[in-house]
Structures are given as C-alpha cells and as structure tokens.
C-alpha cells in the first residue's frame, strides 16, 4: 500500500502530533515499510483462522462490586501537568 504525505498529515492530526517537514518525509517512508509488511501477511490464507485479539489464554478476569476508598485528591492531582486545588486543568475545551 502506498503511503502519501496527506495520509501522514491526517494521522498526525488524529494523534495531535506536529511533524516538521523533514520528519514527515521520513515518517512517510517508514510507515510505508510497516504497512508494506501487512501486505506480506495479507498473502496468507486465514479462512479458518479465528481472529486473535489477546495473546494469553485468559478470560473472565473480573472483580466484585465492592467500594474501595478513592485516592487522595492532592496526590492524584500532583501527577497532572496542570491542576488547581480540586481539578485537573486543560486548555479551553468547552464553549
């Protein structure tokens, strides 16, 4: 599959990444290599193969519905790039 610069623009926009022009060119080539390998995989016949989403053979990992005290707010907020005394702060996101 051919990767175009427009595709890279689109993907970087979705990922909120700003790529300088030279990185964009390099990324286009790298992505094409990675996606190209998928073309190799696509040549395999997978008609009777179940899609695999998890590597380990575990299932039904669940917990009981029992409340555990929540985390100390100050410690939680301390891990954030920006916060005031009771909330995480982010750039303006609501009108």
Partner 1 sequence: MTWETVIGLETHVELATKTKIFCSCTTQFGGDPNTHCCPVCTGMPGTLPVLNEKVLEFAVKAGLALNCEITRRSQFDRKNYFYPDLPKAYQISQLYLPICHDGAVDIGGGKTIRIHELHMEEDAGKLVHDPWLDQTKADYNRCGVPLIEIVTEPDFRSAEEVIAYLEQLRSTLQYLEVSDCKMQEGSLRCDVNLSVRPAGSDTFGTRTEMKNLNSFKAISRAIAYESRRQIELLEEGKRVVQETRRWDENKDATYAMRSKENAQDYRYFPEPDIPPVEISEAYLERLRAEQPEMAQARQARYQAHWGLPAYDAQMVTSQKALALFFEATVALGAQPKQVSNWIMGEVLGQLSAHGMEAKDMALTPATLARLIALVQEGKLNRNTAVKVFEAVFATNGDVDAYIREHGLEQVSDTGLVSSVVEQVLAANEKSVADFKAGKEKAFGFLVGQVMRQLKGQAAPAVVNQLLREQLERQ
**Residue 22 or 49 having the CB closest to partner 1:** 49
Counting Cβ atoms within 10 Å, is residue 93 exposed (0-12), middle (13-18) or buried (19+)? exposed
Residue 26 makes contact with partner 1 by CB under 8 A: no
- Count CB-CB contacts under 10 A for residue 25: 13
Residue 84 makes contact with partner 1 by CB under 8 A: yes
Residue 25 makes contact with partner 1 by CB under 8 A: no
CA-based angle 66:68:69, to the nearest 5? 145
**Residue 26 or 87 having the CB closest to partner 1:** 87
**Residue 22 or 86 having the CB closest to partner 1:** 86
């Amino acid at each position: 599959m051919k990767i175009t610069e427009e595709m890279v623009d689109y993907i970087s926009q979705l990922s909120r990444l700003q790529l300088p022009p030279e990185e964009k060119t390099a990324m286009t080539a790298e992505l094409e290599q990675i996606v190209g390998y998928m073309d190799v995989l696509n040549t395999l016949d997978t008609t009777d193969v179940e899609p695999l989403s998890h590597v380990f053979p575990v299932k039904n990992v669940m917990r009981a519905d029992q409340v555990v005290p929540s985390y100390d707010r100050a410690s939680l907020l301390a891990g954030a790039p920006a916060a005031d005394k009771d909330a995480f702060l982010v750039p303006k996101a609501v009108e």
